[in-house]
Amino acid sequence: MVAALGALMVGSSGCATILGGIIGHQSGEMCAGMAIGAAVDIVGGLMGQQHEKERKEAAEEAKAVTVYSDMGYIRAGKCLTGQELERKLKDKFAAMSWECRELQDTHTQGDVSTKMYSCRTQQGKVFEMELFREKCEDMRIYVRTPEGDDELRGLITSQVGLWVSEIAR
């Protein structure tokens, strides 16, 4: 029994196993002390792995861009600041010969900021784009087309969503 617990102690090389063995030895229960220490080390290791996994998942989620083309809505993860995403998106529009000009009704109220843009695709299709930022939330981008053209809104939202995904990488 002592040999098995000793091997476990060396294999896990955990401080709790060693400390449990020392305390157990002093009280005449070295095996029990080492077993309890090893259990603490194993559970601590598993908890550490779980926290690391959750941290990695949260980081991936922060980079995620979700496109809801049928609703004209894009949710950009927290991978970039709002200003950086906005600047890079404007650059992408210009590179693709799309027009995008800021409208005067941009406003900030408390923790909420919105910017409206009047835009035109390379083929001359007109749409409005709203960048909506709220403190501690993902940036949201809304696409609206004249006369509620759902098909055009979906196509434009998909294209802008692809560009935002490229920018987020």
The CATH number for 85's domain is: 3.30.310.10
pTM above 0.75, yes or no: no
- Structural domains of the chain, count: 2
Asked whether residue 81 falls in the same domain as residue 19, the answer is no
pLDDT digits (tens, 9 = 90+) for 31-72: 666 667 666 667 666 666 666 666 665 445 445 889 999 999
Residue 65's DSSP bridge partners are 76
Q: Which of 8-12, 29-33, 82-86, 100-104 has the lowest mean pLDDT?
A: 8-12
Tell me the three-class secondary structure of the chain, residue by residue. CHHHHHHHHHHHCCHHHHHHHHHHHHCCCHHHHHHHHHHHHHHHHHHHHHHHHHHHHHHHHHHCEEEECCCCEEEECCCCCHHHHHHHHHHHHHHCCCEEEECCCCEEECCEEEEEEEEECCCCCEEEEEEEEECCCCEEEEEECHHHCHHHHHHHHHHHHHHHHHHHC
Q: Identify whether residues 113 and 156 lie together within a single domain.
A: yes
Rounded CA separation 121/9 (Å):
67
On whether both 53 and 26 belong to a single domain, the answer is yes
